[in-house]
Amino acid sequence: MRTPVIAGNWKMNTTLAEATALVKQMKDRLDTIKGVEKILCPPFISLAAVGELLRGTSIRLGAQNCHHELKGAYTGEVSPSMLSAMCEFVILGHSERRQYFGETDELVNRKIRATFGANLIPILCVGEKLEERQSGRAEKVVRSQVAGALDGVDSPRGLVMAYEPVWAIGTGMAATGEEANLTINLIRGELRRLYGAEIALETRILYGGSVTANNIGEFVTQQEIDGALVGGASLKADEFVSIVEQSAART
Ligand code: 13P
């Protein structure tokens, strides 16, 4: 039985003061919800302060990106070893990184390997663009993103994955529960092909893309979907708490 995960990706939102205020609005309520893993991923600049506020609670902390080397002359970058001293998770391969910062499967793969090496848990995102779906290539794209990102990784124990179709992110046009379930089943199949049944069965695979308190039920009731990676709705305390509550109710 996989414990569901609800992760909030705050993206490039919140100043330090806004981030700490948001955590204070939701942390006591989130802390009491059992049966679901709760992860907050604020911007780098707020990780330390948010981590301090979350200390002693059941809420876990993640970053939104990292570099693929552990240290060195890479002005402006943040390394996996810096992060592992501060948080447990890091989102990698997000479509916004692929789209706006030119991240390829190869680069995502280097980051994934560095992350495992530094004892950080990646939340690996994959997902097709609208034109790829419309031309019937969604399945192929998603499979190759999974295999590409995990190339050379012997055992991705603990890995969390997120299926985030690009056309559903920030658009208000979420996939249906059935659609997401089908693709997540396919991702699990790819994990089985690469690593065998045990890893495939234990890896949590989330859905992401316009998840709200109104539609979360549609996703977490699906067999293969183990929670959600939430963008916009994770910036609203009441809505995020409601999403987590509804996901816990599934168990
Ligand atoms: P939205 O929930 O704002 O669509 O964003 C989803 C996402 O990209 C989470 O990583």
67 as an active site residue: the answer is: no
Q: Is the pTM here over 0.95, yes or no?
A: yes
Task: Calculate the alpha carbon distances from 97 to 50, 93, 144, 147 in Å.
Answer: 23, 6, 17, 18
pLDDT tens for each residue of 26-85 = 999 999 999 999 999 999 999 999 999 999 999 999 999 999 999 999 999 999 999 999
pLDDT tens for each residue of 156-198 = 999 999 999 999 999 999 999 999 999 999 999 999 999 999 9
* CB contact at 8 A, 93 and 109: no
pLDDT at 13 over 60: yes
What value does the mean pLDDT of the chain take? 97
The residue annotated as part of the active site, out of 67, 68, 94, 132, is 94
Q: Judge if the beta carbon of residue 173 lies within 6 A of ligand 1.
A: no
Q: Judge if the beta carbon of residue 122 lies within 6 A of ligand 1.
A: no
Beta bridge partners of 37: 5
Task: Calculate the alpha carbon distances from 179 to 13, 58, 93, 145, 199 in Å.
Answer: 29, 31, 21, 18, 23
